[in-house]
Amino acid sequence: MAIEMRQQMKLTQQLVMTPQLQQAIKLLQLSRLELQDLVQQELEENPILEETLEQESLKEIEQLEIQELEPETLKEGDSFKEVTAGSDTIKEMDWDSYLDGYNYSSGEQYSDDEDRPSFENLLTKKGTLVDHLMWQLNLSRFEKEDIDIAVEIIGNIDEDGYLRSTIEDIARSYEVSQEAVQSVLNRIQDFDPPGVAARDLRECLLIQVQQLGMQGGVVDLILRDHLKDLETRRYKQISKALGISLQDILNAAKIISGLDPKPGHLFAHDDIQYISPDIFVFKVGDDYMVTLNDEGLPMLRINPYYTDVKFKELDSGTEEYVSDKMRAAIWLIKSIHQRQRTIFKAAKSIVKFQREFFEKGIEFLRPLVLRDVAEDIGMHESTISRVTTNKYMHTPQGIFEMKYFFNSAISITGGDFIASESVKRKIKELIDSEDQKKPLSDQTLAEMLALGNINIARRTVTKYREMLRLGSSSERRRMF
């Protein structure tokens, strides 16, 4: 059969992800704080949008969209808004009155010192570990040729306080002996915080022991020769190897547990993740009311100065710019409306399915999957997944991510089912109430759960315990 090229026409269906649809999907999965940031950015970049005290109705938005997307229905000279008396020209803005409402002075004036903010409130950021070490370096008496080496060492200290470069590499970079670099490093290891600039955990703890004046003692011996045994709590083996009583080993282990394995964390700048609930659930009588949290979310509308703009008064470039910005503003407002409606419908469905949880607590959380809510409100599972991600619900039982209410089912005696989250809660309660000198093994936990009609395998207990970030029985054992 000969291979040949030919043209042919055929009709096919395919899903096209328009930029507007991509934006709507993106809005669905944004958290509340991320949405606020995006809206603020759009307000800064799109002159068509403005913030108002009252949300513009969807009917008005849809009317604008019809007019904007079908310009052939407008007569020459018509505005985006229906022509009314007195709107033949673009409105002049009273700039003098507008500017009077703002204070553009170079700085605020205070009548007295009591009104002046405190110095602490003027600080823009906390000092870093590097700043703290450089400050100490500037106060120390280093030789001129050693300062560059010290700066190099400080620059290679990570956020935990450990040196992440070798003596050999630093010596090679500055063409000096390794002894010279080691001498500078020893001095930096005397800096605050104790244990800084160590190359591994053992050295970090030994530096702290030395600064406590305990070198050569039991603590020092354990760290130098029996750190692995200490990590696995093999106290008897350490006692036998050192020929020291078990009580002395336990006392030394208690001192070591008080040392700081990550001295740099004192200066860590962990970003605080603030949670702002998207949904509030209140009990009113015998029913639960679901309300959207609109506080802090800017209400948007189309700027009336642009809806009155005449096409004939604009050149082609300006007309295209205004049209594009108008289309983007209309779609953003509609997408936010749709996002809020979808969150509300999903929240109401969750409350309906998890009513016992709201009444009695976590132990009564029932199994629930995305398909259940999707079928209940007539949406796709992927939409429910997006709309419940990074969204939080304030309930009578506390604040929970909406994803929290979706749990796999675990069968129990009698043919009934229990949510996996409830099983995790029971495991945590058993571990929290155990004797720390005789912690419960995973097999024992499985047997205790079976007494409560929850029959799960030991490996399942292990999986749930690890998900709760709880150590094994040997890791949880405490001798003091």
State yes or no: pLDDT of 55 exceeds 80.
Answer: no
Residues 108, 112, 118: CA angle, nearest 5 degrees: 70
H or E element in which residue 172 lies: helix 167-174
Q: 225 CB contacts (<8 Å, ≥6 apart)?
A: 241
Residue type for position 435: D
Percentage of the chain modeled with pLDDT above 70:
78
Residue type for position 22: Q
Q: 16 CB contacts (<8 Å, ≥6 apart)?
A: none
Q: Helices 420-432 & 442-451, crossing angle to 10 degrees?
A: 110
Q: What is the pLDDT of residues 425-458, one digit of tens each?
A: 889 889 988 888 888 898 989 888 888 888 888 8
Least confident window among 96-105, 319-328, 347-356, 413-422: 96-105
CA distance to 93, 360, 369, per residue, from 411 (Å): 69, 21, 15
Query: What is the C-alpha to C-alpha distance for residues 245 and 236, in angstroms, rounded to an integer?
Result: 9
H or E element in which residue 225 lies: helix 218-225
Q: What is the pLDDT of residues 149-160, one digit of tens each?
A: 999 999 999 999
Cis, peptide link before residue 193, omega less than 30° from 0: yes
What dihedral do alpha carbons 437, 441, 445, 448 form, nearest 10°?
-70
Residue spans of beta strands (DSSP E) within 326-366: none
Least confident window among 59-68, 144-153, 276-285: 59-68
Q: What is the pLDDT of residues 310-319, one digit of tens each?
A: 655 667 777 7
State yes or no: pLDDT of 278 exceeds 70.
Answer: yes
Query: Residue 407's beta-bridge partner residues?
Result: 368
State yes or no: pLDDT of 480 exceeds 80.
Answer: no
> If we measure between CA atoms, which residue out of 291, 268, 285, 326 comes closest to residue 129?
268
The pTM assigned to this predicted structure is: 0.59
CA distance to 35, 65, 132, 302, 325, per residue, from 45 (Å): 15, 20, 40, 14, 9
Per-residue pLDDT, averaged over 197-214, amounts to: 93
Q: 103 CB contacts (<8 Å, ≥6 apart)?
A: none
Number of alpha carbons in the 13 Å side-chain half-sphere of residue 288: 22
> According to the model, what pLDDT value does residue 467 have?
86
Q: What is the pLDDT of residues 323-374, one digit of tens each?
A: 888 888 888 888 888 888 999 999 999 999 999 999 888 888 888 999 999 9
What CATH code would you report for 410-476? 1.10.10.60
Could you check whether 129-267 and 410-476 share the same CATH topology?
Answer: yes
Q: What does the block give as tokens for 201?
A: 């955990």
Bigger pLDDT: 296 or 110? 296
State yes or no: pLDDT of 16 exceeds 90.
Answer: no
Class of domain 129-267: mainly alpha
State yes or no: pLDDT of 9 exceeds 50.
Answer: yes
Are β-strands 398-401 and 392-395 bridged in parallel, bridged antiparallel, or unpaired?
A: antiparallel
Residue type for position 21: L
Is the four-CA dihedral 322, 328, 332, 334 of positive or negative sign?
A: positive
* Residues listed for the chain: 480
Q: Domain ranges in the chain?
A: 19-71+273-407, 129-267, 410-476
* 346 phi/psi in degrees, rounded to 5: -65, -40
Q: Helices 235-242 & 246-257, crossing angle to 10 degrees?
A: 120
Q: Can you state the percent helix, strand and coil of the chain, rounding each to 5?
A: 50, 10, 40
Q: Please, are residues 154 and 193 in contact by the beta-carbon 8 Å criterion?
A: no
Number of alpha carbons in the 13 Å side-chain half-sphere of residue 279: 29
Helix (H, G, I), strand (E, B) or coil at 354: coil
Instruction: State the burial class of residue 96 (Cβ atoms within 10 Å of its Cβ: 0-12, 13-18, 19+).
Output: exposed
